[in-house]
Amino acid sequence: MTSTQQTGVPFERIRGSPGFNVNNLECSICHELLWKPVACRTCETPFCSTCINQWLINHPNQCPNQCQIFAERKCPPFIVKLLSQLQIACFYQSTGCNEIISYEGLDKHEIECNFQSQQCPGCQLQIIKEDFDNHISNCTSIELTCQDCKIVYKRGDADRKHTENICLKEQLRQLRDEYKENKREMHELTLQLHEMRLLNPLIKKIRITFDDLDGTLDKLSCISAEYRGLKWTGISSMHKSKKIFPLFRQRNQIVSLDRKEFIEIKLIEIAALADKCDTSKHQQ
């Protein structure tokens, strides 16, 4: 916590002899040294800006000094001048900071002070800022994620939960799961192709392999320009009738293709070519 989050600065943090009565710089709400003060336009009494804002939440438009209506104005210049002459101990003196800062420079210093504490996300301890990075690098409670197998484990448990053998086994398990998923998708696509062959026997027998599962736009040269870059919503509604092809060609929306869309477009191309072939034979 820094002074920017406090209602006022405790008088005991003042260092040296300012040469005037600092009690005249007291906020009448928090009874501590004024911090970022503003004043009432009517009575010119200064208050900490945070204090008066909190007061007004519960007492709208009412001055703490019983003025009829509170209207905010800048703090009187002589108050600002007296505050600027004060030397204040850093808020983090309890954690080791020995800096004495001018009133005007206090806010900036405390925001950057290396002795402010931060909570470790692993062990939850409060660690001073200058030691924080070193602590994070060695804390046994910090959770790590392996980039190869994606296992999440605490640094202190690495010798039990993330050995080289465990990592390799997990990678193998993930590869097997991926293979099963790819095999299932291939099976579904093969069934769709088989149904298309039944609807149109002119379609040549082809075998879909994993080499066909390429969804990058720069490698779609094998797809005719007529279908390249068009958006298709699903193979299931396409194969019920060949009349869907003109409708499909009207949907000129450029999209990135995933692997399933790539295969579907290839199936559409095959069916369209077969349809053209069938039409030309009838015309002859």
For all residues of the chain together, what is the average pLDDT? 76
Burial class (CB in 10 A: 0-12, 13-18, 19+), 260: middle
Map residue 44 onto helix, strand or coil. Answer: coil
Most confident option among 16-20, 49-53, 64-68, 193-197: 49-53
Structure tokens at 40: 């009432």
How many CB atoms are closer than 10 A to CB 24?
Answer: 10
Cα separation of 273 and 204, whole Å?
A: 10
Range in 78-92, 179-193, 217-231 with the lowest mean pLDDT: 217-231
pLDDT bracket for residue 135 (50, 70, 90): very high
Q: Is domain 3-115 annotated with CATH 3.20.20.140?
A: no
DSSP class per residue in 88-108: EE-GGGGGT---EEEGGGHHH
Please state which CATH class domain 118-161 belongs to.
Answer: alpha beta
Encoded amino acid at 201, one letter = P
Q: What is the pTM of this model?
A: 0.52
pLDDT for the residue numbered 68: 77
DSSP class per residue in 223-246: S-TTTTT-----STTTTT-TTHHH
Closest CA to 208 of 223, 220, 228, 194: 194
pLDDT for the residue numbered 139: 94
Cα separation of 115 and 103, whole Å?
A: 19
Encoded amino acid at 273, one letter = L
In the chain, where does the domain assigned CATH 3.30.40.10 lie?
Answer: 3-115, 118-161
pLDDT bracket for residue 261 (50, 70, 90): low
Judge whether 274 and 203 are in contact, CB under 8 Å.
yes
Cα separation of 4 and 145, whole Å?
A: 37
30-39 pLDDT, tens per residue? 999 999 999 9
